[in-house]
Amino acid sequence: MELANKRVLVAGMARSGVAAAALLDSLGARVTIYDQKTAGVLGEALAPLQGLPIEEALGVEPDSGKFDLVVTSPGIPLTAPVLKQAAASGVPVIGELELGAALCPCPYVAITGTNGKSTTVTLLGEVFKNAGFLSFCVGNIGLPITQVIPELSANDRLVVEVSSFQLETVRDFHPKVSAILNITEDHLNRHGTMETYIDMKARIFENQGQGDFVVLNAEEPLTAALAQRARCRVAWFSDKHPVELGCFVEDGYVVFVNGEEKRRVVEVSQIRLPGNHNLQNAMAAACMAMLMEVPAPVIRHTLRSFAGIEHRIETVRTVGGVTYINDSKGTNVDASIQAVRAMDVPSVLIAGGYDKHTDFAPFAREIKNSRIHTVVLIGQTAAQIEKALREAGFANIRHASGFKEAVHLAGSLANRGEKVLLSPACASFDMFSDFEQRGRVFKEIVESL
C-alpha cells in the first residue's frame, strides 16, 4: 500500500483512529483527522498526535470527497454522512483494521464470533508467546493493529480479534487461519437483520484460499453452515462429536486430528478456564495453534496455566461471605447466559444497560432455571428485562436508580456463601464509555465495601 503524499482522512478519534493517524503520518501521508467532537472535548485522547504535521477537522464536517483515502474507526457506521460522501465521490473507505493488516509484515490469525473472542484471542496470544514468538493481541480487544505495526518483523505472530463492525470495511484482509466461534443475536441496532450480521461475520474468510484455514464451531448450526461459503480449507472444533480435521473431545482429552494423524493435546480436566463455553474456546485456540504448527506441548502448557481475562466471569473479592463476580464483558444475552450457568451457588444478578434491540426471552428463561434467586435491574433496558423475566415466571426483581446503588443493593440481598454477579447482557453506553470502564467501576465499588 503506497501512502507517501496521499491525502488521507482518518475518521473517528478513539484509540484506533489516533493510532492510524500516527502510523499514516510516519509513512509520509498527508493526514487530516476528523471527529464530531471538538479538540477540547477529545482532550488527552489526542496526546499521541501532538507535534505531528496533521490537519484537524474536529467538530466540523470535512469534504471527504477531496481525499485519496478515508480510514474509519469501527464505531462510525457506513451510513454516516462523512463516509457516504466519500463513497459517492469514488474515494476508497477502509477500516483501521484493513489498513493495519495491509501493512503487517508477519503472518496473522483472526478470530470473530458473538462471544468468547477476547478469551480465545488472549489464549492464542499466550500460546504464541510460549512458543517463542513476539506476539500481540490486537483489534477489537482494545489494542489497535496500527499501533503495533512498527514493532513487527516477518518472524512474529499477530492475533486479531475482529468485530462485525470492523468486518464491514475490510477489503483485502487475509488471515492465514481464521475462526468463527459462534453466532447469536447481537448488534441488530447496527446491522438490522440476523442475515446481515451473519454476512458480516463470514467476511473474515472471504479472501482466504486453499492454502488457508477457517475454524468453525461444528455444534452451532449458524456457524457450521458457513462452511459452504468457504474457498479455503475448513477445520472444526466440537465438544460432542469427532471431526475429520480439527479438535474434538475423546476419552477425556482434547485431540487434534488431521487426516490419519491424531494427537492428544491436553486432558480436559487440566484446562484451567472454567465452564463448557471455555472448553470450546480452548479447542478453537488449540486447533488454530496446531494449524499454525505450534508444538502440542506448548499448547498443553498454556491451556493448563491460562486463567482467563479481566471483566469475564472474574472473581473480584469476597466481602462478608459474599463473593462478587465481574462479568462486565457480558454485553449480550448469550454471553450473560454463559455467566449465569457458571454460578454454582445461589446468586444475585445485576443486569441491564444500553438497548441494542435484543430479545431477552432466552436470558430470562435461563435465569428462571438457574441458581439466580434475585435480579437487580439498571439502565435503559430494565423494563424490557423485567417484562421478559415475569413472562418466564421469575418475579424476584428489584430496581436501582444508579450503578453504585445496584451493587450495594445486590450485596444486601445476598447471603453468606452466595455470589453477586454483574453480567448486564447489554452494552454499557447508557452509563459508561465501554464495558471496561463499567467493570473497573464495579471493582472499585466492591473494593470500597
pLDDT digits (tens, 9 = 90+) for 340-367: 998 999 999 999 999 888 899 999 999 9
Q: Which amino acid is at 151?
A: E
Give yes or no: residues 68 and 138 share one domain. Answer: no
348: containing domain? 314-448
Q: Does 75 map to a domain? A: yes
- Residue 189: the pLDDT is 66
- Residue 192: the pLDDT is 67
Give yes or no: residues 284 and 318 share one domain. Answer: no
Give yes or no: residues 368 and 239 share one domain. Answer: no
Q: Does 96 map to a domain? A: no
Tell whether the model's pLDDT for residue 186 goes beyond 70: no
Give yes or no: residues 280 and 245 share one domain. Answer: yes
Q: Are 294 and 386 in contact (CB under 8 A)?
A: no
- Residue 187: the pLDDT is 59
Tell whether the model's pLDDT for residue 110 goes beyond 80: yes
Instruction: Name 382's Cβ contacts closer than 8 Å, sequence gap at least 6.
Output: 352, 399
Give yes or no: residues 268 and 339 share one domain. Answer: no
Give yes or no: residues 199 and 331 share one domain. Answer: no
Per-residue model confidence as pLDDT tens digits over 392-429: 999 999 999 999 999 999 999 999 999 999 999 999 98
Q: Which of 42, 70, 91 is the last residue of a domain?
A: 91
- Mean pLDDT is lowest, of 21-25, 151-155, 161-165, for 161-165
All three cell numbers of 146: 496500527
Give yes or no: residues 124 and 152 share one domain. Answer: yes
- Determine the average pLDDT of the residues in 27-41: 96
Per-residue model confidence as pLDDT tens digits over 67-79: 999 999 998 999 9
Whether this model's pTM surpasses 0.85: no
Give yes or no: residues 191 and 258 share one domain. Answer: yes
Tell whether the model's pLDDT for residue 188 goes beyond 90: no
- Residue 304: the pLDDT is 96
Tell whether the model's pLDDT for residue 286 goes beyond 70: yes
Q: Does 1 map to a domain? A: no
Q: Does 404 map to a domain? A: yes
Q: Are 58 and 18 in contact (CB under 8 A)?
A: no
Give yes or no: residues 134 and 249 share one domain. Answer: yes
Per-residue model confidence as pLDDT tens digits over 79-107: 999 999 999 999 999 999 999 999 999 99
- Residue 191: the pLDDT is 61
- Mean pLDDT is lowest, of 90-99, 257-266, 292-301, for 257-266
Residue 273 pLDDT level (bands cut at 50, 70, 90) = confident
Give yes or no: residues 373 and 236 share one domain. Answer: no
CA separation for the pair 207, 364 (Å, rounded): 39
Q: Does 171 map to a domain? A: yes
Q: What is the mean pLDDT of the chain?
A: 94
Strand order in the sheet with 253-258: 135-139, 157-161, 108-112, 177-180, 213-217, 233-238, 245-250, 253-258, 261-267
Q: Which of 270, 285, 305 is the last residue of a domain?
A: 305
- Residue 307: the pLDDT is 84
**CATH for 365:** 3.90.190.20
* CA-based R_g, the chain, Å: 22
Q: Which of 352, 350, 312 is nearest to 329 (CA)?
A: 312
Give yes or no: residues 382 and 319 share one domain. Answer: yes
Burial class (CB in 10 A: 0-12, 13-18, 19+), 128: buried
Residue 312 pLDDT level (bands cut at 50, 70, 90) = confident
